[in-house]
Amino acid sequence: MKQRIVDFMEHKDFRPLKPEDLMDAMEIQNPQLNEFFAALRELEREGVVMLNKKRRYGLCRHMNLFAGRIEGKGPGYGFFIPDQRSRSDIYISFDNLHGALHNDRVLVRVVKEQKFVNGKDEGEVVRILERANSRIVGVYEEDEGVGFVIPDDKRIGRDIYIPKSVNGGARDGDVVVAEITKWPERKNEIRGMVTEIVGRKNAPGTDMETVIRKYQLPEKFSEKVMENARRVAKSEGADLLHRTDLRETLIITIDGADARDLDDAVSLSFTDHGNFLLGVHIADVGHYVKVGSPLDREAYHRGTSVYFPDRVIPMLPKELSNGICSLNPQEDRLTLTCQMEIDGKGRVVREEILESVIRSAKRLTYDEVNAVLDGDEFLFEKHPEIRELLFGLDRLRGVLTAKRRRRGALDFDFPEAKVILNDDGDVTEIKKRRHGRGESIIEECMIAANETVATEYFNRDIPFIYRVHDLPSDDKVMELKAVLAPFGYTLGQKLYDIKPHTFQRLLEKIKGSPGEYLLETEILRTMSHAVYDTENRGHFGLASDCYSHFTSPIRRYPDLCIHRVIKDMLHMPYLSAEKEDKLARRLNDAAIQSSLKERIAEDAERDAVDVKMAQYMAAHIGEVFSGVISGVTAYGFFVELENTVNGLVHVSSLEDDYYEFHAGTRTLMGTRNRLCFRLGDLVNIRVARVNLDEHLIDFDFLEFLEKE
């Protein structure tokens, strides 16, 4: 019905009609009335059609209206991020937000077009389609008996007025959750009521609880979901029937030392003519989590597991994630196996995807694998077959990595922070995560399986969910070109024909240069954000024509969805047109939901690490550290420490001279002493201040260091 309505409105002679006139024009009969009006309301919520002031429905795009989301920018203004991929972002002033807040879904009209390169069109919010912030976490403050909640998420850009009668007993300085009772209209205030007091500001444990509520992450599973989990988390003999038995095959898991949800395992042998025979074995979560079950609905709602320094908020209850679905050693487990024969150039020459049962021989950590590959003669000396398997996997890693590099895949080498906590949740250390050969082995094996599975179902033209990474937008490419020019780098002449190789060669050129960190960061910002989609558009970053996420169904909902497609196709290779249409719609909905939940999880995880970094550095105020200048701006320069913490040396703290910013060279230079701060310079700094509310760290510059 939705498609019928849109198709009817697309006709060149169509003019906006009242609902009853539209119904008559489309010859909608009485039995279809409920479906018609439900479809019309849904199209309106989605921003496809709009009811104008004359109560007539028309297509939004025919009215030059765009649907999308608001990205708030703190002081009250924001940017509109359109659903339409080809449309660039639109600047929205505070006056033109008309009460819309960060992440609200809205309809926007362009009110001023920018003709110059890299300029932003200006727009105004015409209608708010969906509110995203019904509950806001922040600090409760009182001033002369008037209460306000100051949002922890500064992108909200507005404080919430709390009448004393509904402050829930909150005191000045409490971290609270406020439920919105009156949305702002134009410039009016937002009103709310306190529904929960999380704890005192800066009290132990309040930090992570604040992040959880800020992003509205689910903390507990309902009793209905838990009952479903307990009922299905059992192994029965019948489960093993009609599966390929791989329990005698040498299969291992390789994960981080603190991992509990072991959803992937690998095996390796060789064919008579020397090809690799790689087996990637993934937990068959779809066997336990059925479509439409309470477990499935909860997994859909969560979308992904979220990983904090002190806890995991799982997509599935531990009865599955750490229990029956986790590929624990010496336990029979149901899996989906992707068997790939790979030649010496990394090409998959033969593959098979099947339901299987495995028994992992050993659970290895990345540290153990790296130690063996680095020459540890004693680890696993009683298990030479495991040692032999690891060296075989390392050979395959080299072949697969070389193949990806030949086709232009991008490898960004950004350090990742590992936060070490004590039993009380206090930060004792922050250090870089090591990415050794063990990590690369699993990464390459999973990429191979993800590509193989995606390619198989794309070629069969079966509805599927792909992991899509689009080409960079023209605006972003032009911005990057301007940044590269002062450093003597270029993207070449054919900017309309950008390829992964273009960026790969650029990354190789800047390796080891003073501007490496900044330029890598700028290149990464140029990239589109990877999403889930039922349309295969390839993966630009991996230089892959066809890619999916198949290997983590315990913690990612899209993986679970495509597992079900695979299982259905193994048992019923052909779909009727009706079933194919139903499957396509369900997968499309899951792809949109999963992309949204992934972004929320990424923001929450980043926020949680920033909180812990700020707390750690607050305990080291006055101490001296060494670091590298990672960014230079008009207001100062950023220094990254060895532990990955970033802080700002503000230009106002450089009291020996007046410093000018040179945008072309990205340097700060003293007007008298000619002292110059450049990207890549090694410096000593002192920790000056830490703002725990904003998670901001200020440094004082002490001296330059000689490069080794």
**Would you state the pLDDT for residue 495?**
65
Tell me which residue has tokens 């000689």: 706
Q: Give mean pLDDT, residues 74-79.
A: 82
Closest CA to 370 of 359, 362, 379, 361: 379
CB 682 within 8 A of CB 707: yes
Q: Give mean pLDDT, residues 293-307.
A: 97
Average pLDDT over the chain reads 91
Q: Is the pLDDT score of 647 beyond 80?
A: yes
**Would you state the pLDDT for residue 116?**
45
The two tokens of residue 113 are: 């077009």
pLDDT per position as a tens digit, 618-636: 999 999 999 999 888 999 9
Q: Among residues of the chain, what percentage have pLDDT more than 70?
A: 98
CB 555 within 8 A of CB 303: no
Closest CA to 477 of 527, 423, 534, 529: 527
Spatial distance between the Cα atoms of 626 and 607, rounded to a whole number of angstroms? 24
CB 418 within 8 A of CB 432: yes
CB 466 within 8 A of CB 532: yes
pLDDT per position as a tens digit, 484-540: 887 788 887 666 678 899 899 999 888 888 777 778 888 888 899 999 999 999 999
What single string gives the DSSP state of each residue in 446-465?
Answer: HHHHHHHHHHHHHHTT----
**Would you state the pLDDT for residue 559?**
98
Give the list of residues 6+ apart from residue 479 with CB closer than 8 angstroms, or none.
118, 526
Q: How many Cβ atoms from other residues are within 10 Å of residue 525's Cβ?
A: 12
Q: Is the pLDDT score of 119 beyond 70?
A: no
Q: Is the pLDDT score of 664 beyond 80?
A: no
The two tokens of residue 523 are: 């290149």
pLDDT per position as a tens digit, 457-474: 999 999 999 999 999 888
**Would you state the pLDDT for residue 407?**
93
Give the list of residues 6+ apart from residue 166 with CB closer than 8 angstroms, or none.
181, 192, 193, 194
Closest CA to 321 of 235, 365, 262, 264: 262
Q: Is the pLDDT score of 154 beyond 80?
A: yes
**Would you state the pLDDT for residue 117?**
42
Burial of 292 by CB count in 10 Å (0-12 exposed, 13-18 middle, 19+ buried)?
Answer: exposed
Q: Give mean pLDDT, residues 224-248.
A: 91
Helices 437-459, 384-407: inter-axial angle, 10-degree rounding: 60
What DSSP designation does 323 have? I
Judged by average pLDDT, the poorest of 183-192, 355-364, 428-437 is 183-192
Q: Is the pLDDT score of 190 beyond 80?
A: yes
The two tokens of residue 483 are: 């940044």
Q: Give mean pLDDT, residues 31-40.
A: 89
Burial of 702 by CB count in 10 Å (0-12 exposed, 13-18 middle, 19+ buried)?
Answer: middle
CB 69 within 8 A of CB 130: no
Spatial distance between the Cα atoms of 692 and 697, rounded to a whole number of angstroms? 9
CA contacts within 13 A on the Cβ side of 412: 18
Spatial distance between the Cα atoms of 299 and 308, rounded to a whole number of angstroms? 18
Burial of 95 by CB count in 10 Å (0-12 exposed, 13-18 middle, 19+ buried)?
Answer: exposed
**Would you state the pLDDT for residue 308?**
94
What DSSP designation does 516 have? H
More confident residue, 204 or 324: 324
Spatial distance between the Cα atoms of 555 and 144, rounded to a whole number of angstroms? 48
Closest CA to 107 of 151, 156, 179, 58: 58
Buried b (16+ CB within 10 A) or exposed e, 376-393: eeebbeeeeebbebbeeb
Q: Give mean pLDDT, residues 683-696.
A: 93
